Every structure is written in structure tokens, then in C-alpha cells.
């Protein structure tokens, strides 16, 4: 566990170059460390400790040289969306068959296993690097007293403990029964018996330690570093996932009342390539994607998301993955009051099978066109989305993902590497304030404080009503202007939801004006708001599972989707065993000691 893979040390756009001590020898090779083995003694300096911590942050998203597929994407688009009712794998049937098997719930198929193993490896690589930081810190403090000032030492320790908790959380919500590793572990073939409760206890312990050690503002003024508020908000997240709502109320109410976070003024400022909004007031924790920073292949950019752009006929050239489902698109339709039609018409909201193209006859939540690319609607400032942008509409449907895509005017597009147009410096939200507020709203519902939950949901909805997709490219796109003459010369990406330039939809967002009638009604409103607000952000499947409704929702979804996407006929229905992903078989094999597997496979697999 002390062996780190070769890595690029990254902090946003700031770099710290370190020389890794790699031992080469053609003598006594049995006693010579393998090439690529990290000699921690050589890094036993202040710079070495700081660099190792940066390396721990770096693995938040796929480091391309280490991982062979996109199971390691920071956004969890494979694990949180494609397995849910929000998205299809997309692209075409023959591309990335491992992701297809994940979508179809063939999780023990060898190609799906490859994806699972990449997720396991990436999570525990993060743990390895976090623990390496803690060991090096202790070593330097003991051998070179005073080299690292006390305040920095506390910050480094707090950040490493926070990251260790985060990486274990990523593994825990996938598999629950996981081994938990500490910096002084020497036997890394640890059993996972009781791993669910052990992980829960130790994630909270690490987060409490991080809260006590970390400053309230980013160390060295480097936004993106974990702070005490980051750790406290994350603690509340873990408490909600554990169903410890009373404890979560205390934690999250404190963050809401005292923390440095707030909703962005409009939804278009949340997922964006514009530097002015990077690490904005809504960001709790994000992967600091960095393009055009000197890395020759663009590997520090949004590598895990690089497949998720419109395909060949678009400005991006590739690759058409992670396509929104018809079910998700239908969910954005609202009734006359501006509330989700799924509430007022539960039997009919998902009946539409025809493609949503531009039409003022459709009354929708404006978050629809910030989340989904559809024909006839401006795609940020790239011109109108068109059917030619879709790789295989008969397979993955007619819609494109949108949140992860940069604006043309932002300057965030990468300029090097393979298809650079589909990599950028859009930061990947791992946890944002709207997500946290909705977790707090859940806890308020379970505590019976329904008015607090209603206030939070209305706060989220009021922000959603501030801006809608504008013309974006009215001064350069002749087709756009021909279709919508009011767009002539209008390059505004975001406009008021009733702006006269809008000719592609009718946008409406209503508030819940009367008290929730019961906890069940409040619970539904909060859950629906999470889907609308966090769509395509890698949260949906994990939400359905922790709410205990995944089997019903997914199987109802499949009943209809099999009539829309023919390949879905092969999808395995959701069963109890799908409440947890199977542990990768190779990891179980690697845990074997004396013929006995120390890792135990999850129930049903």
C-alpha cells in the first residue's frame, strides 16, 4: 500500500514538481525495490509532504495513465446515472461494452467487472495517497522539527483525513462492506466482515478530526482545499446516508446558519467553464479540472467526463455517451402552477414518447434546458442542438448531456491531446450547497419539521426561476437567427425565464404555497426536487437505493423504457442484490491468505 502509481501533481492550475525516488539496479534484483516504487524517505521534506497531499487530491478524477475506462469518473456518471432512470449509457451499442453491461445490470460480466475494478482501484488509490501523506507528515515532524509550522501541519493532517473519509465514502456507498485503511496498516489484505458499520464509524471519526484540525478558510488561500466547513457539511451528508437524521439536523443546520456557502444567483453559474464562477459560493467540494496547464495530453482536465459530449456533427466531435433518458426529460414538464407534473398527474407524466424538440407549447422547468441538449434549442453558446449531433439516436435516444460542457466564450476548452474539444476545465461538483440543503430538507421531514423542508425546497426552486437558456450565439449563428429572428445579435447565454427572445419553450417555476399536508407529501416534494436539481450529476441511483425505493422505481422505469429503447429488453430487473454492487472478483482473489478469502462477496453475488 506504500507503492504509488506515477502521477502528475496538480493543484488547480498550480504545480509542485517533485522528484520521485525510483531505484534502478541490475544487481541483486531480488532485494531491489521495483521500478516505480515510491521511496517515502526521499519525500521526507515539507515539499514532499505537500506534494503527496496534492497527489491525493489528484485522484478525485481519473488519472488517465492509471485507469483503463471511465468507472473512475469523478461525477460517477456510470454508477449514479446510467444505472438509474436518469440516463442511458448512450453512444452506440459496440462502444464501451463494459458500460453497457453496467447499464443492463450484468454486473458480474467480465467487462462490467473491469469497470467495477477501476472504481475500486481509484477509491483505494485515494486512500493510499491520503495515508501516505499522513505517514510522511509524521516522519518529517519527528526527524525535522520545525520544518513544517504547526498550523500547516494541522491543515495537512486535516485535509488528508478528510480525503481519506471521502474516498472510503465513495467505496462504501458502492459496496457498503469494505475494509477501512489507516496510515499505520501493514497488512493490506484486510477482511471486510462488519465493514459497513466499521466504515460508518471511521468515516465520521475522520471527519470529526478533520473538522477540529482544518481552518475555516482554504489553507494558503488556495480555493479547492478542504476546510473545516467542507468537512462539517460532508459529515452531515454521511449522517443522512446512514439514516441518522437527528444528528444530521444538528450538523447541517449549523452549516446552513454559519457556514460560508450559498446558492449561486442563477443556475447557469453552477456548472460552467467561466473562471469567475469556478469554486463559487455554492461549491463545497469539487474536482479542480485544469486544461491548458502545460500537461501535454490534457490529462488534468475533466478526463472522466470526456466521452460525454455530443458526437460528430457537433462542435465537439465525440463521443455521445451519458445521454439523458426520455423518463428524465418527461420529468421536467410542469403543470399550470409551475410544479412538477409528476405530482399533479402521477399516472400520465411519463406517457410522452415523442422527442422533445423546441416548442413554446411545452411548459417546462428551466433547469431542463440547462441539463439536456435537445433539437432546436440553443446549446449554451454553441448554436442550436441538432439531430446530426447524435451518434445513434435509435440506440441512445435524441438528447445530449449539457452540464459538463463548457461555454465557447469561457476559454475553458482544452487545446492538446486526443479530441481536445471534449476536455475542459469545468470543475466537477462532488458536493454542492444545493445538494446539502436538500439533504437537510430530508432530515427536517424525518424530524417532522415540514415547514423548514418547504422553505428549503422553495429556496431551491426560486433560484431555478432566475434564468433560462438564452440565444447564446445570435451574432454568429445564421441558422439560429433564421429560426428565431429575435436572437439576432443576442449572445446572452442566460436570460430571464420570460425573456421575449425565447422561442423554444415556455418556462415556469412555481413554489409550494401551502404547507405540506403530511410527511409523505413533504418527502415526495423533497425527493422530486433532488431529481430536478441534481439531474445527471451522479446522485440519482445512490438516492434511490438509500431511500429504499430503487426496486420499485427502476422496474417501473424499465417497463416503459423497454418500449422506447429496444436494447433495454435485455436489462435485468432490479432485485434485492442490486442494493449493493458486487465486489470485483479480482480484489477478492488478491485478498486471499492461506487459501482463504479475506474479502467476502456481497449478498446475492
What CATH number is attached to the domain comprising 512?
Answer: 1.25.40.390
Question: Smallest Cα–Cα separation from 402: which of 435, 437, 377?
Answer: 377
Do 455 and 507 have their domain in common?
A: yes
CA 192 to chain centre: 26
User: Does residue 8 lie within any of the structural domains?
Assistant: no
Residue 329 lies in a domain: yes
Q: Please check whether residue 161 is in contact with residue 180, taking contact to mean a CB–CB distance below 8 angstroms.
A: no
Helices and strands, number each (H, E), in the chain: 18, 12
Together in a domain, 547 and 592: no
The total of structural domains in the chain comes to 2
Residues 556 and 591 both lie in one domain:
no
Q: Beta strand pairing status for 363-364 and 506-507?
A: parallel
Q: In the structure grid, which three cell numbers stand for residue 50, read together?
A: 505537500
Helices (H), 405-483: 433-446, 450-464, 478-483
CA dihedral 307, 414, 61, 223 (to 10 degrees): -140
Q: Find the domain containing 527 and state its range.
A: 303-566
pLDDT tens, residue by residue, 528-561: 999 999 999 999 999 999 999 999 999 999 999 9
Q: Indicate whether 362 belongs to any domain.
A: yes
- Is 290 inside a domain boundary? no
In a domain, 227, yes or no: no
Same domain, 562 and 586: no
How far, in Å, are 81, 272, 316, 397 from residue 89 at the CA level?
9, 23, 18, 10
* 405 and 535 housed in the same domain: yes
Residues 111, 115, 116, 118: is their CA dihedral positive or negative? positive
pLDDT for residue 9? 27
Report residue 254 as a C-alpha cell: 449549523
Distances (CA, A) of 387 to 206, 342, 356, 393, 421: 49, 28, 12, 8, 19
572 within some domain? no
Regarding whether 307 and 182 lie in a shared domain, the answer is no
Beta-strand relationship, 321-324 and 400-401 = unpaired
The pLDDT of residue 26 is 33
Residue 565 three-state SS: coil
Residue 278 lies in a domain: no
What's the pLDDT at 38?
A: 58
Nearest to 414 by CA among 429, 426, 400, 430: 426
Q: How far apart are CA 553 and CA 174, in angstroms?
A: 19
Question: CB count, 10 Å around CB of 96?
Answer: 21
Residue 1, domain member (yes or no): no
Question: CA–CA separation, 61 vs 73, rounded Å?
Answer: 5
pLDDT of residue 259: 82
Identify whether residues 42 and 81 lie together within a single domain.
Answer: yes
Domain match, 536 and 592 both: no
Residues 549 and 505 reside in one and the same domain = yes
Q: Which mean pLDDT values do the consecutive 10-residue runs of the chain (605 residues) have? A: 32 30 30 51 91 97 79 97 98 96 96 96 97 97 96 98 98 98 94 94 98 97 97 98 98 95 98 96 97 92 95 95 98 98 97 97 98 98 97 97 98 93 96 98 98 98 98 97 98 98 98 98 98 98 98 98 97 98 97 96 97
Q: Write out the E strands in 473-603.
A: 494-495, 506-507, 592-593, 596-597
Residue-level length of the chain: 605
Tell me: do 504 and 591 sit in the same domain. Answer: no
Dist. CA 176–CA 198, nearest whole Å: 10
The reply to whether 200 and 52 lie within a common domain is yes
DSSP code for 581 = P
- Do 585 and 488 sit in the same domain of this protein? no
Amino acid at each position: 500500500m506504500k507503492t504509488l502509481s506515477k502521477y502528475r501533481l496538480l493543484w488547480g492550475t498550480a504545480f509542485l514538481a517533485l522528484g520521485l525516488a525510483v531505484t534502478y539496479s541490475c544487481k541483486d534484483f531480488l532485494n531491489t525495490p521495483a521500478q516505480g516504487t515510491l521511496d517515502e524517505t526521499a519525500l521526507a521534506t515539507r515539499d514532499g509532504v505537500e506534494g503527496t497531499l496534492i497527489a491525493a487530491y489528484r485522484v478525485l478524477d481519473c488519472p488517465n495513465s492509471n485507469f483503463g475506462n471511465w468507472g473512475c469518473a469523478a461525477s460517477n456518471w456510470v454508477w449514479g446515472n446510467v444505472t438509474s432512470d436518469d440516463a442511458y449509457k448512450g453512444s452506440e451499442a459496440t462502444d464501451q461494452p463494459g458500460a453497457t453491461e453496467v447499464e443492463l445490470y450484468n454486473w458480474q460480466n467480465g467487462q462490467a467487472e473491469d469497470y467495477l475494478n477501476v472504481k475500486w482501484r481509484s477509491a483505494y488509490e485515494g486512500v493510499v495517497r491520503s495515508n501516505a501523506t499522513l505517514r510522511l507528515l509524521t516522519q518529517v515532524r519527528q526527524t525535522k522539527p520545525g520544518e513544517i509550522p504547526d498550523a500547516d501541519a494541522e491543515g495537512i493532517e486535516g485535509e488528508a483525513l478528510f480525503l481519506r473519509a471521502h474516498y472510503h465514502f465513495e467505496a462504501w456507498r458502492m459496496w457498503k462492506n469494505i475494509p477501512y485503511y489507516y496510515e499505520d496498516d501493514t497488512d493490506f489484505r484486510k477482511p471486510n466482515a462488519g465493514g459497513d458499520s466499521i466504515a460508518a464509524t471511521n468515516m465520521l471519526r475522520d471527519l470529526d478530526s478533520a473538522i477540529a484540525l482544518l481552518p475555516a478558510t482554504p489553507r494558503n488561500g488556495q480555493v479547492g482545499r478542504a476546510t473545516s466547513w467542507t468537512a462539517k457539511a460532508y459529515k452531515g451528508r454521511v449522517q443522512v446516508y446512514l439514516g441518522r437524521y437527528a444528528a444530521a439536523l444538528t450538523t447541517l443546520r449549523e452549516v446552513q446558519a454559519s457556514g460560508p456557502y450559498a446558492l449561486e444567483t442563477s443556475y447557469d453559474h453552477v456548472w460552467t467553464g467561466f473562471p469567475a464562477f469556478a469554486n463559487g459560493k455554492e461549491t463545497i467540494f469539487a474536482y479542480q479540472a485544469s486544461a491548458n496547464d502545460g500537461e501535454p495530453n490534457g490529462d488534468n482536465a475533466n478526463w472522466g467526463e470526456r466521452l460525454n459530449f455530443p458526437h460528430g456533427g457537433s462542435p465537439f466531435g465525440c463521443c455521445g455517451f451519458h445521454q439523458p433518458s426520455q423518463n428524465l426529460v418527461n420529468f421536467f414538464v410542469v403543470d399550470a402552477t409551475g410544479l412538477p407534473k409528476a405530482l399533479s398527474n402521477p399516472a400520465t407524466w411519463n406517457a410522452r414518447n415523442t422527442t422533445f424538440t423546441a416548442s413554446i407549447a411545452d411548459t417546462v422547468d428551466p433547469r431542463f434546458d440547462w441539463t439536456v441538449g435537445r433539437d432546436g434549442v440553443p446549446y449554451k453558446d454553441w448554436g442550436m442542438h441538432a439531430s446530426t449531433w447524435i451518434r445513434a439516436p435509435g440506440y441512445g435516444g435524441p438528447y445530449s448531456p449539457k452540464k459538463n460542457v463548457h461555454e465557447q466564450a469561457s476559454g475553458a476548452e482544452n487545446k492538446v491531446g486526443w479530441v481536445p474539444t471534449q476536455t475542459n476545465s469545468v470543475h466537477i461538483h462532488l458536493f454542492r450547497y444545493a445538494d446539502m440543503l436538500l439533504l437537510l430538507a430530508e432530515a427536517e421531514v424525518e424530524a417532522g419539521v415540514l415547514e423548514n423542508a418547504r422553505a428549503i425546497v422553495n429556496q431551491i426552486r426560486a433560484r431555478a426561476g432566475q434564468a433560462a437558456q438564452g440565444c447564446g450565439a445570435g451574432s454568429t449563428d445564421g441558422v439560429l437567427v433564421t429560426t428565431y429572428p429575435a436572437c439576432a445579435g443576442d449572445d446572452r447565454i442566460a436570460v430571464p425565464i420570460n425573456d421575449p427572445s425565447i422561442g423554444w419553450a415556455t418556462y415556469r417555476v412555481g413554489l409550494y404555497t401551502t404547507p405540506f399536508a403530511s410527511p409523505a407529501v413533504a418527502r415526495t416534494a423533497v425527493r422530486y426536487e433532488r431529481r430536478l436539481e441534481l439531474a445527471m450529476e451522479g446522485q440519482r441511483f445512490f438516492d434511490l437505493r438509500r431511500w429504499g425505493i430503487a426496486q420499485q422505481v427502476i422496474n417501473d422505469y424499465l417497463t416503459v423504457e423497454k418500449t422506447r429503447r429496444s436494447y433495454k429488453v435485455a436489462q435485468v430487473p432490479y432485485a434485492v442484490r442490486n442494493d449493493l454492487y458486487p465486489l470485483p472478483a479480482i480484489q477478492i482473489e488478491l485478498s486471499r491468505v492461506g487459501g482463504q478469502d479475506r474479502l467476502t462477496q456481497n449478498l446475492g453475488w
